[in-house]
Structures are given as C-alpha cells and as structure tokens.
Amino acid sequence: MPKGGPKAAFFLARGFAREDPRPFIAALLDHGRSDNFSRAAENRFVTKYIYEGAMQMPDGSSHRIRSVWKLVDDGAFMALVTAYPI
C-alpha cells in the first residue's frame, strides 16, 4: 500500500478522527495482541513483527488489517511501523 494518504483515508472513512487519536491508538494496541501474530521478518538492521487479523472500526465494521511493529529502547517497547488493510 502506498505511503500516507491512502492508509489515512481508509481509517478516517471508517470513523477514526484526527481530532481524537485515542480510539485509533487503542484499536492498534488491541490489534497487536498475540493471537494476531503472523510472523517475524528480520534484516540486518531490525526485526519486524507482523500482526494480521480483524480490527474493529468505530463505524461498526470490521476489516482485516496488517500492523507491523519493531522493538525499541533495547527491546523494552514495541513501536508501530505501519498499519494498513489487507
């Protein structure tokens, strides 16, 4: 999926709002739970953790989403790399 605009448009069209990102953050954190774990992808710089599964949208719909995370702060935290519909 292309960078930025199309991904944002997808999530905004399903009820998430720029004015209050908290519901989007909560949905992404919920999506990154272990039962959605798909695989790890490693290169010489970083290991990315890929999660795939349904994500509940504020408009009541549910869509399959891929979220990609990486470890930061010496593995203490996971940081979101990207999220998009699949």
The domain limits of the chain are 1-7+39-86
pLDDT at 38: 94
pLDDT at 32: 86
Tokens for 39, please give them: 């695989």
Task: Tell me how far apart the terminal alpha carbons of the chain are, to the nearest angstrom.
Answer: 9
H/E segment holding residue 34: none
Across the chain, which has 86 residues, the per-10-residue mean pLDDT values are: 79 96 94 89 91 96 96 84 94
From residue 58, give the alpha-carbon distance in Å to each of 3, 10, 21, 69, 77.
23, 12, 12, 23, 27
From residue 32, give the alpha-carbon distance in Å to each of 28, 36, 41.
6, 7, 15
Helix (H, G, I), strand (E, B) or coil at 59: coil
